[in-house]
Chains A and B, each alone.
Chain A
Amino acid sequence: MDQRGVAREAIAYTVALAVILGVWQAAASYSHLLPGVPQALSFLYDNLGQAGRDTLITLENTLAGFTIAVLLALALAWAAMLGGLVEETVKAFNVVVQSVSVLVWSLLFLIIYGFTSRLPAMSVAAATAFPIMLSGTLKGFEVSRAEYGELSRMLGLSRTQELAHILAPGSLPFLVASARSALGAALRISVVAEAFGASGGIGYRLWLYYELHNYEGFMAWALLLVTLMLVLDKLVLERVEAWGRRWTG
């Protein structure tokens, strides 16, 4: 993106943020429960240590689940390249996983792992990221094979060599684009699992503050979550995506 594009994007985000904060402030003036923006920011400032610890827990949960999803998606997409029944089964499995509600996943993992474990949040993040990653990886592998499959045959590459040298790097633009969506979705959803049953993290604290009728804390942590999402997307994922697409020019 050129300098003009960066400036335009900065203005767009500033306007969007100003509108949302303005609506929030306007709503706060009508509600005797909803705190205003300054109160929420002040609460966040006073509890920065807790905010940092919760952010770290949520990031750990999300990244652990996301990593599991990526590894599983890569393994299944590679298996799908065998074609025939295996490919059909992998695709069907993906559709089934996709059709399960996040609420069902969250409660299911709570039943399995219990209410104080961090595993439900990680597992929900994995279950959310997995179908997105698998769809992207399958698409990337299919496009790479269509484009370079004959090269693999010409050079007599083994399946492992084809994966390492052709399919994986050839799918990189698809993988990073999927990873951006999958990580964002996993982060948004893992906080839901944290709210249902965990002993830390942004989702847990959001639910705790709500239960305690501490709405300043609730809005402060909502702001924290949005900020984390934006920072992660704009400063990390967007750059990783650009890096993954660098040779597609």
Chain B
Amino acid sequence: MIEARNLVVRAGGTPISGPASLRVSRGEIVVIAGPNGAGKTSLLRALAGLADSVEGYYRVRGTPAYIPQSDMLLPWKTLGDNIAFPLLVRGTPRGEALRRVESVAGLLGLKPHLHKYPREASGGTRRKASVARGLVVGADVLLLDEPFAGLDVAAKGALLEGLKRLAGGGITMVLVTHDLLLASRIADRILVLLPPPRGLSAEYSLRGLGKAERYGVAEEVVKLITREGGF
């Protein structure tokens, strides 16, 4: 679904992320970890086609949806209308849009919250609505930037379950997160991104591992990042 070779993101001519070479298959959940300033968000934005200056090769097969760290929910619309927004601006009839909103909301357990305004919803619910807004247009590749940031334990758990369900349905996911212990519960692989020029430097597979082994790998990655990040 996603393929990149020697992908470098630049800002004003200076490399801010990469080089990165990676391949992500359909339905796979890949976590990108790294120290602050490694260019994790820049890499994610590049894969979403939102970066201004990119060199190297990358290709995303399917429809990507970038879910930014800030929810970017429009506060004057209800969560339901926020999720329907991408469909409505593309000319989808309202009835059809609402039907698709209901369907996506069902996947993420959002149905009871659709009538709420963002300020009336919890952080976890807002984050799920942001994910739903990406999915509603038929996205099959989710690029999630710090999806667990600022959420309490219960909200993190609920979001994690939602993402797990989506992956089970064939949605491909690339997550940037510092919450490695949590992400390791659903990740198939963890990639370590270091600041340029080192770029993507290590890869850990978690497939077939039990919960304790997954935590062990996550801790190993944290140690590597701490060491490489000069902490």
Contacts and interface: CB of A to CB of B under 8 A. Distances in A.
A159 B8 CA distance: 30
B74 A172 contact: no
B91 to A, nearest CB: 11
Nearest to B45: A150
Contacts of A169: 74, 76
Contacts of A161: 89
Interface residues of A, number: 17
B68 interface: yes
B72 A247 contact: no
Interface in B39-65: 48, 50, 65
Nearest to B137: A155
B72 A148 contact: yes
B76 A157 contact: no
A64 to B, nearest CB: 29
Given A150-B68, A247-B75, A165 B85 contact: yes
Q: Is the interface of B mostly helix, strand, loop or mixed?
A: loop
Contacts of A155: 85-86, 89
A77 to B, nearest CB: 19
A155 B74 CA distance: 13
A181 B85 CA distance: 33
B66 A154 contact: yes
A154 B89 CA distance: 12
A157 B85 CA distance: 11
B77 to A, nearest CB: 8
Nearest to A153: B50
Interface in A148-170: 148, 150-151, 153-155, 157, 161, 165-166, 169-170
27 contacts: A147-B72, A148-B72, A148-B74, A150-B50, A150-B68, A151-B74, A153-B50, A154-B50, A154-B66, A154-B68, A155-B85, A155-B86, A157-B89, A161-B89, A165-B74, A165-B85, A165-B89, A166-B74, A169-B74, A169-B76, A170-B74, A170-B76, A172-B76, A247-B76, A247-B117, A248-B75, A249-B119
9 closest A-B pairs by CB = A151-B72, A247-B75, A247-B76, A169-B76, A249-B119, A155-B86, A161-B89, A154-B66, A148-B72
